[in-house]
Structure 1
Amino acid sequence: MNLYTVFSMILVISVNIPDILSYPSGNVGQSCTDMNPLHGATPQTPPSPYEIKLSTTSYTAGSTVQVTIVSNCGNEFRGFMIQARRADTAAADRTTPIGSFTAVTDTKPLCGSGSNRGLVHSRSVARSSLTLTWTAPATIQGHIVFKVTTVEKPNSRYWQAVTSEAVKDSSGPLNLASDSNQTQIGCTTQVENKFAADTRCGDTVGCYSDCDSTGQCTYLATWVLDSTNINFTIKAIPDSDTNVYAAIGFSTDTKMGDDSVIECMKTTDLRVATSFNNGRSNTRNADQLGITLTSASYENKILECVFTREITGSGDVKLVDLNTPHYMFFAQGTAEATGAKINQHGLIPTVSPQAIDFKLTENFSAVPYDKSKVLAHGALMVIAWITAASIGLVVARYFKPIWPNSTFIGQKIWFQIHRTCMILTLLSTCIAFIIIFVEVDGWTMSNISVEQAHPYLGVIVTFLTIVNPIMALFRPHPNTDNRYIFNWAHWGVGTVAYILGVITVAIGTRMGKANLSENAVWIVVGFTVWQLLVVLCLELVQLIGNKQKTDSYELQGGQSEKIPDTQSKPANGTLKQAILIIHIVVVLAFTIGLLVYIGLA
């Protein structure tokens, strides 16, 4: 396996990572019929905050209509799909797209390659409005409506197949089908993604929330002591309308694990339940003791549960005694449709700034999650595998003969560059490995299968990175018979470590804890493409140089010359050095780009 093959493998895997994790480039061709963006969540119900405005409400054969998707509520959308379809009851088929759209920047065909019958975003870009041009077919097809799906920024809420007002042709009276009625447009509490804080907080009730300085919240937990019980309220705006939960946890420290949890759920019904965090997994308590639901509601996209919890926990060891102060966590995510189990939280849970005495009525604000260790881990891995390993590998492969008579501190220059880069890779990887294990205090879990691979790959990469220099310390002398075994082993371990290292970095850019911009993974893809191009160029230069040596040998009649005491620099040495300088500059640019995104996170 040569380096061309190695980087081809990295390129193929890296390019597919964004599509595996999400659809930031609109890879939803299979959604041509139902216009579902395949984000895994449930579509939002009307009203929609995104209006479809038309330049005209009638059309003729070959005419055009300007269609504008616009936010009326100050929200931005980062993804969309659009089609025109038959609207009247006379049409048996009201799912086949009609006419064509003119593609604009960051859009591409939705319904088949080369067909503009529908459009979808090709890149995740925040927009408050977008105007598109639709061209009617050469023959009129009947009355139509435009169907639009929008995905909101910064979350992934979406409104599926929102319908415009009808656009009529001259075929006759309009009899709208029920699925072609114009969708109600308007701003709701959910769209604003906030609700008002409880004015009693810190006075007659205790509170833990993320309410901002204007008194607007996305979640709130309140409590008040009532004899031997504590009356709690959980209030939150979930990410979807069904199969969701908001939960509070009680812990003796600020890390998850060995925590008592109370869940407020909306599945087939509204309910509360208790569970327990064993390490990083959650288990529903078999006996739902010590808790009584008073009321529950889901109105205006706000999930609310009011319940009573025995302060001592009714003797259940998994219901902690709240006579003792505890830290409070808040988390939300999806639940199984049966309500039997909650899934891992979507966003990282927040934790109270101190242990809370639930017999008091103090007001606490959520503490932002400290991502410094996670980001330091990511930055070190970028330096290790995007910068140091990339340069060190290229130098070892292609630059051994470039400085044949030059040494630095007693060793060939290429070797010193290679060794320096690999030592930097080793140190950065090991430090990053230690940092992340201290941070997560164990093993990182995720509901997304690709993210689950990240810690496993990280352990393998770290192991290989440590093994390779140990092998180098015991390498045989270059003139011994077994030297070739070391050469192959050293190359093989290093190559596998590098492939997995770049893949692990790419996956890391999409990890929930990092919360990096979607553009970060594309920087890794761009780096991989660049590395492949550099390898191809150097392979070509080396191939031409080897052919010139062969031709020179044949012109001398196959007679070997005496090897001089000093070797001359290859004819292509200057070109190779120029390529190396450019490579170092470009790799540093990719590194800086990733470090900037890490810093912004």
Structure 2
Amino acid sequence: MILRLLTGFLFIQTSLAQGTFDPSTCGQTKGCLFAPTGCVPSQDCRISFSYQVQNGQTLQMEISGQPPNPQAGFVAVGFSKDNSMGDDSVSACVSNNGQTTGLLAYTPAKSITVKNSPVQTTIQASATNGNLYCVLRRQLGNTGDAQIFDLNGTYYVLMADGPLDNGIPTYHSNNRWVLPRTDIGRYGTNAFGQTIQRDDPGSQGATSGTQHSTNDKLKIAHGILMVLAWSVFIFTGILFARHFRGHWPNTTMLGVKMWFNFHRTINMIGVGMTIAAFVLIFVANGWQWSGPKANASTAENQAWSSIHSILGLLACVIAWAQPLNAVFRCNPESKARPIFNMIHRFFGFSAWLMAAAATMIAVVHFNGMFSNRDAALGLYIAYIAVAGLTLIVLELIFIRNFFVSRRGVGNEIEMVRIQRLQLAILLLYIVCAVGLAVAICVLIGLKPGDLA
């Protein structure tokens, strides 16, 4: 009998020492969040996180996950006022050379500052079969440190895992997830020992903000302007310059042919929208550059947000330079004019390609910028397909016209038919581009707010 009791006691102690995340009480006595979104707890989730208020004074958290290098890695949960990294309070479970413990930190940007504070204590920590598990207890209320947030409120929850560098979590370019705004203080007991009861925001305690801060509104406007500028206006302007020079040969406006009026007007509208969008995102980011920096780490410079920024900047700068170099173009009869045309076309189309790449990065990696990221991704893939197909068909017609012209076998009636076909293709593209771009803009405009 004594042997059985001793065996049972040792089993319980071993289980507590190792620690496992129990999802069975999620949504009942504790709130839980898991990453990636849609994963099955205890099966394929990379990170599991639970939170429970105790007596209205402390927050008990469980953090569990499998970092790429469990011997020198971390699993972290960040509490953010917006849906992006920077100005976040972080609690983490770290394992370094066989020692597993909790960690309290603050991320001013894409870096981390460890906070040595009694506000957070480690109740339990273990590393078993590559899985880290920590139970942390964190003080609620005003901590006296602006970098250690009072978690008895609503925050975006950012989850990440990655390696350590000299015992400190490093920047994680890929293994990161943004979860909706969550009421961290919803589950548990208050100061009187009574069960906390708040409006049910969802089975896991997550809720999306219904209001947008000024910075969030600026980011929304930036996204909408960029999508419309590059998808509708600038690409249409490129098509006019490339494939519609022969249309309306006897019609002019302001002394120039109609194709050039369309090309110039549409592109200038698009360029104006990119300038406005560029200013808006810089204002939203506090006039801070978020792209690659000389003093940033390789991981930071290779982050998708950094690549998005540099591609967007290059695309915009080239687009802004195009009207300027057009002012200094040589005379149409000059032998150098074909060279100018080739350079002008090359840079114009290159700018659009970089803008398209930057937009694709946004719809793939910037989950928080859309009310439905998957829908936005599908819509933008459809747009790229429409734009690519339009360009290919018009190029085939251009090549066909070139050889017909050289052979001198064409006639005026046939040319009129070809031009009508080109116009029909252009109109079809414009209708599809406007529809798809507006749909993406709606998803941006309906994104979850960053305020409760």
> Normalised by the shorter chain, which TM-score bucket?
0.5 to 0.7
For residue 432 of structure 1, what is the aligned residue in structure 2?
277
C-alpha distance in 2 between matches for 1:310 and 1:586 = 56
Q: Mark the CA change 1:234 to 1:540 in structure 2 (over 3 Å): closer, same or farther.
A: same
**What amino acid maps onto 1:522 in structure 2?**
I
C-alpha distance in 2 between matches for 1:279 and 1:225 = 33
C-alpha distance in 2 between matches for 1:331 and 1:197 = 22
For residue 596 of structure 1, what is the aligned residue in structure 2?
439
**Cα offsets for 1:547-577 (capped at 9, x unmatched):** 145x79xxxxxxxxxxxxxxx9796243033
How far is the alpha carbon of 1:427 from its aligned partner?
2.5
C-alpha distance in 2 between matches for 1:239 and 1:521 = 33
**Cα offsets for 1:78-134 (capped at 9, x unmatched):** xxxxxxxxxxxxxxxxxxxxxxxxxxxxxxxxxxxxxxxxxxxxxxxxxxxxxxxxx
* TM-score of the aligned structures, taking structure 1 as reference length: 0.49
Contact 1:238 1:302 in 2 (8 A): yes
Counterpart of 2:364 in 1: which secondary structure? coil
**Cα offsets for 1:224-269 (capped at 9, x unmatched):** 589xxx6331246758896552424487x99864444332457866
Contact 1:209 1:220 in 2 (8 A): yes
Counterpart of 2:112 in 1: which secondary structure? strand
Contact 2:154 2:184 in 1 (8 A): yes
C-alpha distance in 2 between matches for 1:433 and 1:491 = 23
Contact 1:378 1:508 in 2 (8 A): no
Contact 1:380 1:428 in 2 (8 A): yes
Contact 2:157 2:178 in 1 (8 A): no
How far is the alpha carbon of 1:372 from its aligned partner?
6.3
**Cα offsets for 1:316-335 (capped at 9, x unmatched):** x786486x999755321113
Is 2:61 the partner of 1:234? yes
Between 1:501-510 and 1:375-384, the stretch displaced more is 375-384
C-alpha distance in 2 between matches for 1:381 and 1:537 = 29
Q: How many residues align?
A: 371
Which has the larger Rg? 1
**What amino acid maps onto 1:401 in structure 2?**
G
For residue 101 of structure 2, what is the aligned residue in structure 1?
271
Is 2:229 the partner of 1:402? no
Is 2:147 the partner of 1:293? no
For residue 136 of structure 2, what is the aligned residue in structure 1?
306
C-alpha distance in 2 between matches for 1:449 and 1:570 = 55
Alignment of 1:49-68 (within 5 A): none
* TM-score of the aligned structures, taking structure 2 as reference length: 0.63
Unaligned 5+ runs, structure 1 = 1-187, 200-206, 211-215, 553-567
For residue 368 of structure 1, what is the aligned residue in structure 2?
208
Q: Mark the CA change 1:310 to 1:407 in structure 2 (over 3 Å): closer, same or farther.
A: closer
**What amino acid maps onto 1:547 in structure 2?**
R
Decide which structure has greater helix share: 2
Specify which of 340, 347, 361 is matched with residue 168 of structure 2: 340
For residue 496 of structure 1, what is the aligned residue in structure 2?
350
Q: Mark the CA change 1:352 to 1:256 in structure 2 (over 3 Å): closer, same or farther.
A: farther
How far is the alpha carbon of 1:279 from its aligned partner?
2.4
**Cα offsets for 1:51-104 (capped at 9, x unmatched):** xxxxxxxxxxxxxxxxxxxxxxxxxxxxxxxxxxxxxxxxxxxxxxxxxxxxxx
Specify which of 308, 318, 325 is matched with residue 464 of structure 1: 318
C-alpha distance in 2 between matches for 1:393 and 1:526 = 17
For residue 13 of structure 2, what is the aligned residue in structure 1?
none
**Cα offsets for 1:135-186 (capped at 9, x unmatched):** xxxxxxxxxxxxxxxxxxxxxxxxxxxxxxxxxxxxxxxxxxxxxxxxxxxx
Alignment of 1:51-450 (within 5 A): 195-198=26-29, 219-223=49-53, 231-235=58-62, 245-249=75-79, 257-265=86-94, 270-285=100-115, 287=116, 291-296=120-125, 305-309=135-139, 320=148, 330-336=157-163, 340-341=168-169, 343-344=171-172, 346-348=176-178, 368=208, 374=219, 376-408=221-253, 410-441=255-286, 442-444=288-290, 449=303
Bigger relative CO (Cα 8 Å, ≥ 6 apart): 2
C-alpha distance in 1 between matches for 2:244 and 2:80 = 59
Q: Mark the CA change 1:380 to 1:545 in structure 2 (over 3 Å): closer, same or farther.
A: farther
How far is the alpha carbon of 1:376 from its aligned partner?
4.7
C-alpha distance in 2 between matches for 1:528 and 1:537 = 14
Q: Mark the CA change 1:386 to 1:404 in structure 2 (over 3 Å): closer, same or farther.
A: same
How far is the alpha carbon of 1:415 from its aligned partner?
1.2
Counterpart of 1:432 in 2: which secondary structure? helix
C-alpha distance in 1 between matches for 2:183 and 2:22 = 28
Q: Mark the CA change 1:596 to 1:590 in structure 2 (over 3 Å): closer, same or farther.
A: same
**What amino acid maps onto 1:295 in structure 2?**
Q
Contact 1:247 1:262 in 2 (8 A): yes
For residue 577 of structure 1, what is the aligned residue in structure 2?
420
Counterpart of 1:422 in 2: which secondary structure? helix
How far is the alpha carbon of 1:537 from its aligned partner?
1.7
Decide which structure has greater strand share: 1
Q: Mark the CA change 1:477 to 1:219 in structure 2 (over 3 Å): closer, same or farther.
A: same
Is 2:366 the partner of 1:512? yes
Contact 1:235 1:302 in 2 (8 A): no
Unaligned 5+ runs, structure 2 = 1-20, 35-40, 42-47, 200-204, 292-298, 448-452
C-alpha distance in 2 between matches for 1:599 and 1:490 = 33
Q: Mark the CA change 1:391 to 1:328 in structure 2 (over 3 Å): closer, same or farther.
A: closer
Counterpart of 1:198 in 2: which secondary structure? coil
**What amino acid maps onto 2:123 in structure 1?**
T
Q: Mark the CA change 1:366 to 1:433 in structure 2 (over 3 Å): closer, same or farther.
A: farther
For residue 165 of structure 1, what is the aligned residue in structure 2?
none
Q: Mark the CA change 1:304 to 1:293 in structure 2 (over 3 Å): closer, same or farther.
A: closer
**What amino acid maps onto 2:239 in structure 1?**
V
**What amino acid maps onto 1:346 in structure 2?**
R
C-alpha distance in 1 between matches for 2:416 and 2:223 = 36
C-alpha distance in 2 between matches for 1:437 and 1:223 = 38
